[in-house]
Structure 1
Amino acid sequence: MLTRKLMQALAVLVILLSGCQGVSSSHSGTTEKTVDLSDKIEVTVRRVIDGDTFIADVNGTEERIRLILVDTPETVHPTKAVQPYGKEASAFSKKTLENQSVYLEYDKEKRDKYDRLLAYVFLKDGTSFNKILLEKGYARLAVFPPNIKYEDEYKQAEKEAKKKKLGLWNNKKGE
């Protein structure tokens, strides 16, 4: 009798656990590696400027944030025309980030020459937004040492997007 109840309980547990694996993320298609958010800085995104830059409330101060290790095509550059996939990258960033709480992680250099905060951005579920942009083909890898903590991981994400001919890599818009 005890063994039968134990087997039933185990079966229920297996069913419950297997059901958890089937939950899909809103970022389907990404190789999700989540990180611990406890050491990250939570901010609220106020406005997305373009695919790789946004304004956020950081500890009560409005700051311009520039994503590290990624470069999306231009849409608001003062001397450059709108580039292929720029509007798509900006729209994706706006849809994903605007009015949301996200988590920032800094690397060795905290600000760039324009006084923007340089950060890796993580969504509430711990996924890297920078990496998602690369995986979906909305961005190219842009390496500026010494900020290279996730370079290898992001390089692999870009490689996969190229292989799948996603976004920038689909050769349909002149790139």
Structure 2
Amino acid sequence: MGSPSSVPKATSISTSISTSISTSTSVDAGVLGVFLVSRIIDGDTIEVTDESGGGVVTVRILGIDSPESRDPRTSIQCWAGQSTSYAEDTLSAQRVTLRSDPTQDVVDAYQRVLAYVLLPDGRNFSVESAGAGASRAYTYETPVQSAPEIEAAEAAATQAGLGLWGAPCFGATSAATTSAAPPVSTQGAPPADTALDPQFDTCGAAIEAGYGPYRVGVDPEYRWYKDGDSDGVNCER
């Protein structure tokens, strides 16, 4: 979400948002207005309509990142469809408040408004989506102000195995994680050890205690910890 090279004109974004940007800075920017959600692009990007006549605006929702479903450079990622469906169920046809974050730009290089989307009852969609396992907490260069709440919601979803943290993704977004594993014969095999390792606050603590690594789709403990390089293995020694 890089800095825009210049403030967009009202022809590229809605008049009311353009006015908000031109009269404020990234330090004191706040509520940008109330808009009607007119289209869900994916789990973290929507289009809203300025009902005062300002047109349609594309919004990249702050603080989260959903599995990719439309990027031509990559295949559809695990849980992409469900993430988009969650956004549709939660946001479609809602009148939402857009609020910028003083730590972030208001518009990115793609002319998308960067904002939190607040539901009519005041809930932050970023927190709700992360809490449902429909998206991940996301930081671009500088953490957003709501990062603690978003990350706490993500941690709860991870612990409960919700959404992309449960089967078949188990926290990985690679499309390959959705394919079924070949059947394995258990005839004559000893009883499986179903006991889980103890859970630690971080992978570092688990490794120090002699546990790990954990593999996506194999070890239930995988969903407890972040996979920093998204290679399907975490807590590697």
TM-score for the superposition, normalised by structure 2: 0.55
Larger deviation: 75-84 or 38-47?
38-47
Contact between 1:68 and 1:147, CA under 8 Å: does it hold in 2?
no
In structure 1, what is the Cα distance between the partners aligned to 2:40 and 2:132? 18
Give the equivalent residue in structure 2 for 1:55. Answer: 47
Instruction: Give CA deviations for 1:64-116 in whole Å, capped at 9, x if unaligned.
Output: 00010100001111211111110001011112212211111101310112110
* 2:148 paired with 1:152: yes
Q: Report whether the alignment pairs 1:65 with 2:69.
A: no
Candidates 34, 41, 65, aligned match of 2:33 = 41
Task: Report deviation, 1:170.
Answer: 1.1
The list of structure 1 runs, each at least 4 consecutive aligned residues, that deviate by more than 4 angstroms after superposition, is none
Identity of aligned residues (%): 30
Contact (CA 8 Å) 1:107, 1:147: kept in 2 or not? Answer: no
Q: Alignment partner for residue 139 of structure 1, among 135, 138, 159? A: 135
Residue in 2 that maps onto 1:169: 165
Where does the alignment leave 5 or more consecutive residues of structure 2 unmatched?
1-29, 170-176, 178-215, 217-237
Could you tell me which amino acid in structure 1 is paired with residue 46 of structure 2? F
Residues 117-148 of structure 1 show CA distances to partners (whole Å, capped at 9, x for unaligned) of 00111110111111111001010111124451
Aligned residue for 2:39, secondary structure, equals strand
In structure 1, C-alpha distance between the alignment counterparts of 2:93 and 2:148, rounded to whole Å: 30
What is the aligned residue count?
138
Structure 1, unpaired ranges of 5+: 1-37
Letter aligned with residue 98 of structure 1: S
Matched residues in 2 for 1:102 and 1:142: separation? 21
> Does residue 117 of structure 2 align to residue 125 of structure 1?
no
What is the identity, as a one-letter code, of the residue corresponding to 1:56?
A: V
Residues 56 and 63 in structure 1, CA contact (< 8 A), matched pair in contact too: yes
Q: Is the 8 A contact 1:44 1:99 kept in 2?
A: yes
In structure 2, relative to structure 1, the CA distance for the partners of 1:151 and 1:91 (3 Å cut) is same
Deviation at 1:49, TM superposition (A): 0.6
What secondary structure, in the 3-state scheme, does the structure 2 residue paired with 1:44 have? strand
Q: TM-score under structure 1 normalisation?
A: 0.73
Pair member with larger Rg: 2
Question: Match of 1:105?
Answer: 99
Matching residue of 2:76 = 82
Q: In proportion to residue count, which structure has more helix?
A: 1
Confirm or deny: 8 A CA contact 2:48 2:56 kept in the other structure.
yes
- What is the root-mean-square deviation in Å for CA atoms of aligned residues? 1.8
| Alpha-carbon distance in 2 for matches of 1:65, 1:142 | 16
